[in-house]
């Protein structure tokens, strides 16, 4: 039996695009695209965690297991914690249910980092970028890394700030954070027991709570995935992106 559990939080009552997990891209629901990528990673059981029976019934049609969690969960992290209670796995991977283009190799790398590095409490992913449109977009979170891949900070701002643009640094990439997390069970239990932290409240970034409490987050480098689904426009972009990568 694997010591890894993959949990996909899938809140039906999304404020910006209600029921977005069940919207379709190329004939499959968003959540089915995510589920299939997680299954192909072949690192452990895949579980969908939702607050609505509609999602449970929908995912059963493509063979997925789902659990009903409280509608009082404040975040996807709280939802995966609730879904993983009472289970034996020591590594829990949180794969966002609105990331239909997540790669199986990314899921596998997140699990591998946790297993191979005992200093790592939480693993996550980053992708290099030099695109100003992304770097200056507050919805594109930037990570600042130490040389060993440890996350020093996450921000919606352009960090690190290049005080002077030179030939030496103009092609030094920024690190775009990708919304997937792996937790040691002990780290997940610790994280959800903490109150929201000052920096977390300022930036509206949950992972800062872990950094402020002294937890070690390490990052794997990946290629940026396609668009996540937050709005109807994202759904249209995802359809176009799917066509491009499947030409």
CB atoms within 10 A of CB 171: 7
Residue in the structure block whose two tokens are 């390490």:
218
Looking at the DSSP assignment, which residues form a beta bridge with residue 125? 178, 220
Separation CA 138–CA 167 (nearest Å): 27
pLDDT, residue 16, reads 76
Instruction: Please check whether residue 76 is in contact with residue 37, taking contact to mean a CB–CB distance below 8 angstroms.
Output: no
**What is the rounded distance in angstroms from the CA atom of residue 14 to the CA atom of residue 3?**
31
> Is the alpha carbon torsion for 7, 12, 14, 18 positive or negative?
positive
Mean pLDDT, rounded, for 206-229: 94
Average pLDDT, the chain: 94
Reply yes or no on whether the pLDDT at 1 is more than 70: no
State residue 63 phi and psi, 5-degree precision. 85, 15
Task: Tell me the pLDDT tens digit for each residue of 184-209.
Answer: 999 999 999 999 999 999 999 999 99
% of the chain beyond a pLDDT of 70:
100
**76-90 confidence digits (pLDDT tens):** 899 999 999 999 999
Whether the per-residue pLDDT at 50 is higher than 80: the answer is yes
Q: Look at phi and psi of residue 27 and say left if phi exceeds 0, alpha if psi is from -120 to 50, else beta.
A: left
Cβ proximity of 125 and 110 under 8 Å: yes
User: Considering only the top CATH level, what class is 4-127+178-189+207-245?
Assistant: alpha beta
The 3-class SS string of 7-29 reads EEECCCCCCCCCCHHHCEECCEE
In the 8-state DSSP scheme, what is residue 214?
Answer: T
Q: For 22-173, where are the E strands, in sequence order?
A: 24-25, 28-29, 45-50, 65-68, 91-95, 122-129, 142-145, 151-155
Provide the CB-side half-sphere exposure for 113 (13 A, CA). Answer: 28
* Ranges of each domain in the chain: 4-127+178-189+207-245
**Model pLDDT for residues 118-160, shown as the tens digit of each residue:** 999 999 999 999 999 999 999 899 999 999 999 999 999 999 9
Q: What's the token pair of residue 96?
A: 């966002």
pLDDT in tens, 13-47: 877 788 899 999 999 999 999 999 999 999 999 99
């Amino acid at each position: 039996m694997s010591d890894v559990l993959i949990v996909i939080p899938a809140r039906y009552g999304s404020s910006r695009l209600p029921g977005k997990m069940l919207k379709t891209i190329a004939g499959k629901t968003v959540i089915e695209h995510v589920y299939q990528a997680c299954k192909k990673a072949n690192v452990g059981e895949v579980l969908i965690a939702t607050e609505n029976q509609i999602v449970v019934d929908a995912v059963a049609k493509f063979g997925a297991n789902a659990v009903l969690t409280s509608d009082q969960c404040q975040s996807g992290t709280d939802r995966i914690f609730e879904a993983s209670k009472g289970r034996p796995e020591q590594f829990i991977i949180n794969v966002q249910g609105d990331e239909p283009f997540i790669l199986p190799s990314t899921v596998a790398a997140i699990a591998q980092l946790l297993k191979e590095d005992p200093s790592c409490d939480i693993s996550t992913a980053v992708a290099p970028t030099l695109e100003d449109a992304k770097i200056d977009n507050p919805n594109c979170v930037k990570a600042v890394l130490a040389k060993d891949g440890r996350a020093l900070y996450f921000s919606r701002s352009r960090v690190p700030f290049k005080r002077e643009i030179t030939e030496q640094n103009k092609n030094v990439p920024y690190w775009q954070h990708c919304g997937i997390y792996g937790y040691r069970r002990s780290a997940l239990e610790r994280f959800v027991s903490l109150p929201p932290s000052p920096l977390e409240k300022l930036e509206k970034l949950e992972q800062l709570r872990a950094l402020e409490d002294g937890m070690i987050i390490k990052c794997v480098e990946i290629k940026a995935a396609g668009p996540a689904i937050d709005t109807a426009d994202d759904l249209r972009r995802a359809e176009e992106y799917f066509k491009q990568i499947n030409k």
